[in-house]
Structure 1
Amino acid sequence: MTFTTVLYHEIREENDFNPEHPSPIDVKQDYDDILPSPLFVTLEQFEEQMDYLKENNFHTLTLHEIKEFYMNQASLPERSILLTFDDCFQSIKEYAYPILKKYGFHAVSFVVTGWLHDYAKAFNPKKSVCLSKQDLKAMEDVFEYANHTDAFHQRKNESTSHMMEATDEAFAKDLALCNEYVPVKDVFAYPFGLFTDRNVSLLKQMGFHLAFTCENGKNNAHTDPLLLKRNVIPYFLTIEQFKQIVN
């Protein structure tokens, strides 16, 4: 028995998206970065992908179902898929939420709590703007929220994140700060998909049951639940390639 996890970051209408121009982020934390083009999909692509899942009777998993699968050997429904969205940018509320709700789909958003703005901002397709807690509250009928750090979602270079260089004490404190807000307190997603063995060990010590990487592939009963695979869905993916990933 296997399940596939897919990962989205940002969605744009086709006429608002230029793959030649990476998107600057707008977050509460004092941190500047850009979101590269492969982490976007167009609204048209996203609708086509969700329509395919609906027409072919895919079951969108909850985190509870996955925990039961690993902890209690529970069965998963046929054609199970986990939909995940990292970082809580505005487009998940503007575009993803209405489509997911229309189809009765469930999804997970991994929250960087230090990035959440204090108030809702007007949608700005020119930047990758983070949502507010008020925004997330309004989507609880579709999304569940889990830990993506509080202040450690910062890149040092292409292969190293701030989290990887932090002491265990600092990482544990950061996880606890994020868990003060997110309802799902035992599930984590590694920022940028980067981590060390020490990070994994600390998650286990702190009682985390699931953690998601950005490594492509399917998950089965033998996959380490703290090293779960997720398939990033980039803008250049064709619908046929999407079908290959989820089937």
Structure 2
Amino acid sequence: MSKLPILMYHNVCQSESGSNKLTISVHNLERQFQYLTDNSYKTFHFSELEKMKTIPEKSIILTFDDVTENQLIYALPLLEKFKLKASFFIPFKCIAKTDLWNESTEEPQKIMTIEQLKKLPTDIIELGYHSYEHNKYQMLSPAQIQNDFLKCEEEIKNHNLTVYPALAYPYGNYPKESADKANFKILLSENKMKFGLKIGNRPNRFPFKDNYEIKRIDIKGLDNLVVFRLKIKFGKLKLF
């Protein structure tokens, strides 16, 4: 089995003064992508992983939640510059709106429009699911979860979007009690989800032990390059 770190990003800003837990500056993101390139890391889409039984030694997955407009403006050009692939996860209710779930004092972030999503280069960006309403699955009944899936599918069909069935759980949250978890995974399977992503903050082993409990490593905006390198290798340590 091979080690596979999956990195989780959110917003990207122009100035380092705007960096915080969920927002990384263009400068820091570029340094991280430069490091991956200089060290011969290879990126993949989930649709590629589905067909693979083994992966190269230095494999890594880049993921961005929420399809914010700042990702289009700042992250996409860097992905293109370094020839890296990434997965962008869509909260469908918020398309062409703002991050409505964000109740912090920070300025609301614009979510990409349908037109912007359709223009993303598919060789670089693969779109995935981030639920419909960006609610915590653990707080929803099975009927509510199923309704959330149905609304996602309606948006995809109505707008003729191409979205790969990989689901990033909002807040990394999903039912944890054994019966609820089992029912949740049945719903994922019935709705044809291939992969489900939590947080976990550790590199995965590939092939995955459980396709619906794939771990992502939270890359924070204030992480320096040393922390970034340690996270890729070990995940989140108690040191940071």
Q: TM-score range by the shorter chain?
A: 0.7 to 0.9
**Which deviates further from its counterpart, 90-99 or 126-135?**
126-135
Task: Give 1:185 deviation, angstroms.
Answer: 4.4
Match of 1:242 in 2: 228
Using the aligned pairs only, state the percent identity: 23
Number of positions where the alignment pairs a residue of Structure 1 with one of Structure 2: 212
Show CA shifts across 1:24-50 (max 9, x none): xxxxxxxxxxxxx31111111101000
The one-letter amino acid paired with 1:93 is: L
2:89/2:129 contact within 8 Å kept: yes
Match of 1:145 in 2: 127
Q: Does 1:167 pair with 2:141? A: yes
SS at match of 2:33: helix
Residue of structure 2 aligned with 1:204, choices 189, 199, 202: 189
2:12/2:70 contact within 8 Å kept: yes
Distance, in Å, in 2 between the alignment partners of 1:15 and 1:58 is 25
- Structure 1 runs, 4 residues or longer, greater than 4 Å off: none
SS at match of 1:229: strand
Distance, in Å, in 2 between the alignment partners of 1:94 and 1:206 is 32
Q: How does 1:223-242 map to 2 (within 5 A)?
A: 223-242=209-228
The one-letter amino acid paired with 2:220 is: P
Task: Give 1:132 deviation, angstroms.
Answer: 0.6
Q: How does 1:177-196 map to 2 (within 5 A)?
A: 177-180=151-154, 181=156, 182-196=161-175
Task: Give 1:105 deviation, angstroms.
Answer: 1.1
Distance change (3 Å), C-alpha of 1:104 and 1:173: same
Distance, in Å, in 2 between the alignment partners of 1:246 and 1:213 is 17
What CA RMSD, in Å, does the superposition of the two structures yield over aligned residues? 2.1
2:208/2:214 contact within 8 Å kept: no
Distance, in Å, in 1 between the alignment partners of 2:24 and 2:223 is 9
**Which deviates further from its counterpart, 128-137 or 203-212?**
203-212
SS at match of 1:213: strand
Show CA shifts across 1:28-84 (max 9, x none): xxxxxxxxx311111111010001111111111111222224xxxx11123111000
Residue of structure 2 aligned with 1:131, choices 112, 120, 123: 112
1:187/1:211 contact within 8 Å kept: yes
Q: Does 1:89 pair with 2:71? A: no
SS at match of 1:201: helix
Distance, in Å, in 2 between the alignment partners of 1:16 and 1:178 is 35
Task: Give 1:16 deviation, angstroms.
Answer: 5.3
Q: TM-score, normalised by structure 2?
A: 0.81
SS at match of 2:132: coil
Distance change (3 Å), C-alpha of 1:5 and 1:167: same
Structure 1 stretches of 5 or more lacking a match?
20-36, 119-124, 155-160
Distance, in Å, in 2 between the alignment partners of 1:191 and 1:215 is 13
The one-letter amino acid paired with 1:40 is: T
1:4/1:217 contact within 8 Å kept: yes
Q: TM-score, normalised by structure 1?
A: 0.79
**Which deviates further from its counterpart, 206-215 or 86-95?**
206-215
1:187/1:209 contact within 8 Å kept: yes
2:6/2:61 contact within 8 Å kept: yes
Distance, in Å, in 2 between the alignment partners of 1:126 and 1:16 is 14
